[in-house]
Structure 1
């Protein structure tokens, strides 16, 4: 998904109250590269995000993301 489309979708939900808990579950680094797994737990489902990061002159930047959604039963 192009980043502009992703951000437009996120903006549509801006202002709505969200009840969730989010935590960094794991992360690994190798020099200037890193990966992180982040879980966002909502009432009826959970998002699991995987981020790839690079350390730049001005700090760590997310360069790609994939995710899955797990519905609760």
Structure 2
């Protein structure tokens, strides 16, 4: 009769712990990725709004210099 040897890395409690660790890491990765996407979207929107404000200010000034600004 042979003694069956279970390697420590394949013991059920360690397999269960590895599965739980993979699930936790995946959840953290998804949460971090979602937060990063939201932050990048907000900063891109802010940059676009700032650029549009600058363009509109320049356009109003240019129209006033030419005497074509009728909104006063």
Between 1 and 2, higher relative CO (CA 8 Å, sep ≥ 6) is seen in: 1
Superposition TM-score tier, normalisation by shorter sequence: under 0.3
Q: Report which of the two structures shows the higher radius of gyration computed on alpha carbons.
A: 2
- Which structure dedicates a bigger proportion of its chain to helix? 2
